[in-house]
A and B are shown apart, each in its own frame.
Chain A
């Protein structure tokens, strides 16, 4: 049933492999597993789907091994988890020497002849899953129902239905009749037998109904009113009588509350017991003064004191033992368990969330780090906290490292060589800084000697075109054509408001190609990710024009919204694209970075969700405020207490 089972070291050497009958080579799916799950810190749940296969894996952090099993996605094998655990234990115990003593050389030179053990474990696992076979249904003969007659199942008052069962049992066992004999025929046979035996009279239908009704009443009446004859029922039918309420009497005068004498006159109002204390509340207040809100800090302080007092003696008691325990924890090697790590991970998760990382991403990250550290042996003088912090820091740096090359200038040079413009599209929600950062990026490109065409595809927002025109004018003033060999470095391509953005973009690109511009920067209107028609329009723009770089502009102030925005943008781009491999977001521009001091979690959220790099960071509103991301600095700011 399994396609393959591999055991390999984290350093990359395959120690043992089991190839199923029809499975293809195991390397490609396992590589995909490693790249997308383990290296992107998504190791929270231990299964992964790749094309037609489901892969389940387990990490051994003590000896740095990975166990992977692959099987067809359509099968649901229940024994896989247990199989992995068993194989893990057995393999580790069998080859413990190789791992411990010789390190990499041991792995290289050792022969891992595990096939027989594996087949045995596989057989055991398969058998254990077959134990709970579906239960066979009882035959009719075996059930209790065949023992009863049909008549005795009708409940009648005063009859004892069970006494018939014994007779029927004997008669039933004598018969060799199979279940194929239908119940009615059996019932009729029983009837005939009963009528022959003369046990019961045949009751008429009406009398049966009457008897049932009496049964019903009898059961639902309270104690004491057991048997009611049907006669009182008949009496009530005689005449319609006015309903008499218990609490009211039929005196109309009493019911008339519209006593005009009491309305509006103070004397007629009955003198109640007026308790001024209850109405006014606080006796000690000064009349006319407005008091502030009372803080409840005093109560809280009291509570804390109360809580602390009982805890103090326990601290004293555990003091000595705790001290030795701490020392024991510092020296010597002990392996990390989930319980050790949980409190530390909780604290780290809260710390990350306090630093503006999206909540679900913080949870997934901590899960992944826990999986990576479980069972790892700590060195001497390292505490659990420091190990977890170290691992988390490495994981964060890993996430922020770009998965692909980030070098816009190099790609622009390539496009220049092919005599076509390099097209960059900026998309994002409203107000994140697309136009401002577009201007900054065009300034940077001009400084490096590339000519830029700005396409104003924001045809909705009032003043968008004028804004870009102002930027163009300023940039041309900063870099006049004279200093660049008579060439205007920046030009604006606009068609006013209200037109179709995708059409303007296409015209702008062909204009750039004709005029020989190196880069085209396309500015789009901001849109909310939930706005379906606008998302469709954006997807159309990108699908039709096929830009070289699609940049998502996101502000660093965003919190959990970042996840939602990116997921929905990517989904919209994927859904509305006709191509086999749709163009998704290629990079992220993180803006307004100067407004957060060290709450830099948005960078983590965005790169984790898309696994695309952060290409630029905007740190202000002037043209020079464009930076590139430094992973170590961001992680340092994130882990700072």
Chain B
């Protein structure tokens, strides 16, 4: 049988020697390069063109979403799923970002965060400035969960904490909210890492330590840039008027 094969092998070897080899090699290299380029472009394109709107229930995320996209006031209900749309950041720059409005309800927020966190280029954390005093622990807990997430720590998207509902007189200022959140997150670092470990062994607080050990927690200790702005999705002139979103829009231009 070997004898039968040999002449065939000889023929093959003869075929390979010659210009055919070169063309085959070139073809293979071209395919490889195309593949690499495609992967690279795919990675660039899909990574992180999204701006996530996070926050507790009733913080005003959906209204903010509507105002940014259409400029009009809309009635809203508690969101059950996410909504996403492409947002033109400014007139001259042709860059777009995808605004994604995630539901804030406790049973849904982590699920949707999981889905969209990898694509996040920036995160807008909307805070209800009027109810902040009452909800400070819940706000801090959600913010903590966002900050210790491994994907978020790795990608370090820019974080903006938008203190919404500034049109109401009782609203807290951004500075006060920042101080309170820092204090609360300081405490949460300790309690969450001391919580009983999870069933399958992974710790709930995450091995990530927020900020620097030994020092009080400060937003400047985080790997990502954090800013605080005040805004009002409803607008001080009521429903017909414009929303007060200048600071937010400027930040979006910067980030895009």
Residues of A at the B interface (CB closer than 8 Å) are 6, 8-14, 17, 27, 30-31, 34-35, 38-40, 64, 66, 103-105, 107-109, 394, 397-399, 401-405, 407, 409-410, 413, 444, 447-448, 593, 616-617, 619, 626-630, 633-634
Contacts and interface: CB of A to CB of B under 8 A. Distances in A.
Contacts of B221: none
Contact of B77 (A31, A107, A402): A31
**Which one of B70, B74, B103, B195 has the highest number of Cβ atoms from chain A below 10 Å of its Cβ?**
B195
B82 interface: yes
A409 B78 contact: no
Contacts of B190: 409
B75 A14 contact: yes
Interface string B133-165: 000011001000000000000000000000000
A471 B84 CA distance: 55
Contacts of A35: 78, 105
B216 interface: no
A104 B86 CA distance: 9
Contact of B191 (A12, A398, A410): A410
B204 interface: yes
8 contacts: A10-B80, A12-B80, A14-B75, A104-B83, A108-B74, A410-B188, A448-B194, A634-B199
Contact of A11 (B101, B141, B194, B195): B101
Contacts of A107: 83
A103 B85 contact: yes
**Which one of A8, A27, A108, A399 has the highest number of Cβ atoms from chain B below 10 Å of its Cβ?**
A108
A34 B80 contact: yes
A633 B200 CA distance: 7
B78 to A, nearest CB: 5
A413 B187 contact: yes
B76 A13 contact: yes
Interface stretch (B107-115, B117-125, B236-244): B107-115
Contacts of B70: 105, 108-109
A628 B196 CA distance: 6
Given A9-B83, A104-B84, A401-B106, A616 B191 contact: no
Contact of B107 (A66, A398, A629): A398
Contacts, number: 134
Contacts of A17: 75
B81 A64 contact: yes
Interface of B: 62, 66, 69-70, 72, 74-86, 101, 103, 105-108, 110-111, 137-138, 141, 187-188, 190-192, 194-200, 202, 204
Contacts of A402: 106
A87 to B, nearest CB: 17
A616 B80 CA distance: 28
B108 A39 contact: yes
A189 to B, nearest CB: 74
Given A10-B81, A34-B77, A633 B107 contact: no
Contacts of A409: 190-191, 194-195
A64 B84 CA distance: 13
A448 B191 CA distance: 9
A35 B77 CA distance: 11
A519 to B, nearest CB: 14
A39 B191 contact: no
Contacts of A394: 111
Contacts of B72: 108
A72 B192 CA distance: 46
Nearest to A611: B107
A563 B191 CA distance: 32
A630 B199 contact: yes
Contacts of B204: 628, 630
A184 B105 CA distance: 76
A444 B191 CA distance: 12
A12 B77 CA distance: 5
B191 A413 contact: yes
Contacts of B83: 9, 11-13, 104, 107
A13 B187 CA distance: 37
Contact of B85 (A105, A398, A447): A105
Contacts of A399: 107
A627 B78 CA distance: 33
B137 A11 contact: no
Contacts of A13: 62, 66, 74-76, 83
B182 to A, nearest CB: 16
A398 B202 contact: no
Give me the 3 closest cross-chain CB pairs, A-B, nearest first.
A11-B83, A12-B79, A14-B75
Contact of B66 (A38, A108, A397, A593): A108
Contacts of B105: 35, 39
Given A14-B76, A64-B81, A444 B196 contact: yes
Given A404-B106, A409-B194, A630-B200, A8 B187 contact: no
Given A630-B200, A633-B200, A108 B77 contact: no
A503 B188 CA distance: 36
